[in-house]
Structure 1
């Protein structure tokens, strides 16, 4: 698909594989991988924005000096990474997608499944990340941070009678707690863990609350969230961190008491 008139065409130059040291075997990347790598770099550097249409296949083939099958193989690589979406047909083409943390979370889930990781492993990892975030926010926060946390609390309160919606709202609170630190690495790592934890929470609620009655554990969690916001606003860093450690440990015990024990139990088909 051609780019809109007046937009600048990105330039494409395939990197030349470097020569390996003598005696060391090296895998030479396929041409499709080199093409995918060039496009990937332009996407993550912001040279190609989400929603941008890539040039037509014929233009890309000419610019890269490659065949159509090679280009389509490169597209499949980028599609598997959720960096582009491709529509087939006469009016189709490739468009850029924003890198998605959920894709990374799904792949991490596969690795954890393969390694036989328990949900206890996942909750323990979350316990290493989230409580220090609560401490940091109690030490340093803005009025806007507190407002967003209170909005998240209000969203939970609005769905206290809907167990599945409450799970989503409470998971969103956990996500926000890490997001407000502004640390992109922690946000990504936590997001990967939350993807698995969210599935565990939803699975447990579906098992014990088919009638739609909110569970005592969910209400207890809501009260902990309310208390945490108060501690953060008051600047009580030690208390905020300890509360959140207890909260995550309690959730771990609750899920493992009756729910799936491993990531494979939870995510496996």
Structure 2
């Protein structure tokens, strides 16, 4: 198959030139393997076939195949170990990787940590209202389990507690039922979790009183959801998120997102 970067064709009557880009063979291999991973045909930890088998399957040379591997490695979809016992293993798409790449765009656009927190408010407040409206017994059981694990962690491990705090926020959006908003929320929450740990690495992460207050607020939200109190849930959550933003960011509101990944 041709590996040229493009072809040109002149329209009837000498019209404008249309350039059609022909994908390189390595890109075609990447596209097929990526599709298999995303569709779940290849699972986390699966070993890809040997290089010789893949070369035969796709009709490509070893350099072309290795170029495809480099692209997939850059996307964190495979890892390659060289040597006699090496090979390529599959990694399913990670929201942490997505958050890291998103941070590059946010940094390019001058986005600050405050912007990320404000975006979380815009996503989560309607989400808790929707969950209060549609919640099921299974939703309530999942929320209560998360609350109980969070409360137990507060007494033993403050770093684990703050991660479980974030888990509850993500769980609320997950149970609200919109997959696109869930992905966005997970990406934002990963950035926020990393920021919380990074900004408070040498101190008690949020302070005992603040952490206890957060647990109480989460339980109050649970009560609103149980009662299907949409306005109460949204009002409480907006206050909680606004207060958390001010407390956790402090003087770091202007810090850029990608600083967290340095």
Structure 2 counterpart SS, 1:91: coil
> Is 1:248 aligned with 2:241?
yes
Q: How much does 1:20 deviate?
A: 6.3
Partner of 1:10: none
**What pairs up with 1:4-83 in 2 under 5 angstroms?**
22=10, 23-25=17-19, 27-83=21-77
Instruction: Choose the corresponding residue for 1:201, options 196, 202, 210.
Output: 196
Distance 1:219 1:35, change over 3 A: same
- Normalised by the size of structure 1, how large is the TM-score? 0.85
Unpaired segments ≥5 residues, structure 2: 11-16
1:264 & 1:101 partners in 2: Cα distance? 16
TM-fit CA distance, 1:229: 0.6
For these two proteins, the number of residue pairs brought into alignment is 255
Distance 2:89 2:182 in 1: 26
TM-score with structure 2 length normalisation?
0.87
Q: Deviations over 1:155-212 (max 9, x none)?
A: 11112243222211101111111111232211111111011111222234434427xx
CA contact (8 A) 2:6 2:22 kept: no
Q: Rate the CA distance shift 1:69–1:15 in 2: closer, same or farther, 3 A.
A: closer
Choose 130-139 or 85-94, whichever is displaced more.
85-94
Q: Call closer, same or farther: CA 1:84–1:156 in 2, change over 3 Å.
A: same
1:188 aligned to which of 164, 183, 189? 183
Rounded Cα–Cα distance in structure 2 between residues aligned with 1:257 and 1:25: 52
CA RMSD across the alignment = 2.6
Kindly tell me: are residues 196 and 58 of structure 1, through their superposed partners in 2, closer, same or farther at Cα, counting changes over 3 Å? same
Residue 27 of structure 1 deviates from its aligned partner by 4.6
Distance 1:248 1:20, change over 3 A: farther
Relative to structure 2, which stretch is displaced further, 32-41 or 201-210? 201-210
1:118-197 pair list within 5 angstroms:
118-161=112-155, 162-197=157-192
Q: Does 1:259 align with 2:256?
A: no
Structure 1, unpaired ranges of 5+: 1-12
Tell me: CA distance 1:203–1:97, structure 2 relative to 1, closer, same or farther (3 Å).
closer
Question: C-alpha offsets along residues 211-256 of structure 1, whole Å, 9 cap, x if unaligned?
Answer: xx94322222111111101110111011101111111111111123
**Which secondary structure state, in structure 2, belongs to the residue aligned with residue 95 of structure 1?**
strand
The residue that corresponds to 2:211 in the other structure is 218
Distance 1:252 1:14 in 2: 54
What is the match of residue 89 of structure 2? 95
